[in-house]
Amino acid sequence: MAAKICHHQPPSFPSSFTNNNLSKKPSSLLLNNLHYQTPSFKCNLSSSSSSVITTDIKEPSPVFTSVKTFAPATVANLGPGFDFLGCAVDGIGDYVTLQVDPTVHPGQISISDITGTNNLSKNPLYNCAGIAAIAVMKMLNVKSVGLSLSLEKGLPLGSGLGSSAASAAAAAVAVNEIFGGGLGELDLVLAGLESEAKVSGYHADNIAPAIMGGFVLVRSYDPLELVNLRFPESKELCFVLCNPEFEAPTKKMRAVLPKEVTMSHHVWNSSQAGALVAAVLQGDCVGLGKALSSDKIVEPRRAPLIPGMEDVKKAAIKAGAFGCTISGAGPTAVAITDNEEKGREIGEKMVEAFMVGGNLKAKASVKKLDRVGARLVSSSSK
């Protein structure tokens, strides 16, 4: 099969429930056509509020005293796929080190250290990694163990490379692994969505590929259904990432988007998104780049807010890129090619265009597709 499908149908719940708690393990999961049941839960996975679940799941014991995890950067939207298409890129991302800490109150987590930035709170209730970690602890019904978390930021904030999702994904996987890895990918995506909802909005096109790796299609949000699109391993694919010294907060960049679109733009973007999915499954870099460059709804609203972006796109394509668009909410520009050396040449032209067209310094790098997603890097046993 070319695609792996995960879905979750939320059952009904009593109206007397509040929305103060984070989500727990869903009641069923379909993954690679293997269906299994978990203990009965009551939940609400509405996109407009936090999830609430009650469960009698047995609390697991830690299998490690400490773990270190990594989650990759992601490129969301991919042009016409606003909020429903994204992919993971290798070589850059965030690390989380998590350890059992007897000085932390049982059932709670503390953030002991953050490196790579001075602009994040150590309060776990206001930190992407902390929110996701708490969500997984609640899913697992952890009440007897306290945890301490250290976050190493490898991604700049507000870069359009899924910085918040990388932190959330690494933290979610860390908590899951330290207790034996009992949760599946969909559970971890749901935990990450708790974090994304509080930081930048309820969208899974960063957190899903950060956890699952590769290309991911969000087929539905209610119920949450994810499709892993497999780009052929025999084909070369390179992402040229050009990041200017400019911050584009996701909430601000979402605020400029139109609330309504014309039927002609809807049809156009739908056809381009379909073409992009087909190109991914076929390993067609030329078709992927063409579709990625063709958004008529989101990019036209956001590009003018990023100095030089329109010039950068033109420069990338003139230099031989198959396509170019804004990565996520920006300001990073992403171009597609199938050759690493050619990618470096394209990156140089994109850097020049940011300076000439936007008076912004920028750095370019060439990355491959990360097919793995968030993973355990190391562990220490009891």
Closest CA to 172 of 157, 162, 161, 184: 184
Give the global pTM.
Answer: 0.85
Taking the C-alpha atoms of residue 346 and residue 88, their distance in angstroms, rounded to an integer, is 20
Q: What is the pLDDT of residues 319-376, one digit of tens each?
A: 999 999 999 999 999 999 999 999 999 999 999 999 999 999 999 999 999 999 999 9
pLDDT digits 0-9 by tens, 90-110 = 999 999 999 999 999 999 999
Q: Which domains does the chain possess? A: 64-230+371-381 (3.30.230.10), 238-368 (3.30.70.890)
Q: Give the C-alpha separation, 82 to 301, whole Å.
A: 13
* CA distances to 65, 203, 227 from 217, in Å: 35, 12, 5
Segment 242-293, tens digit of pLDDT: 999 998 777 788 889 999 999 999 999 999 999 999 999 999 999 999 999 9
What is the C-alpha separation between 176 and 184, in angstroms, rounded? 9
Percentage of the chain surpassing pLDDT 90?
A: 78
Look up residue 195 and give its amino acid: S
Confidence of residue 30 (pLDDT cuts 50, 70, 90): very low
Q: Does the pLDDT at position 16 exceed 60?
A: no
The CA-atom distances, in angstroms, between 134 and each of 151, 206, 361 are 15, 19, 38
- Catalytic residue numbers read 196, 250
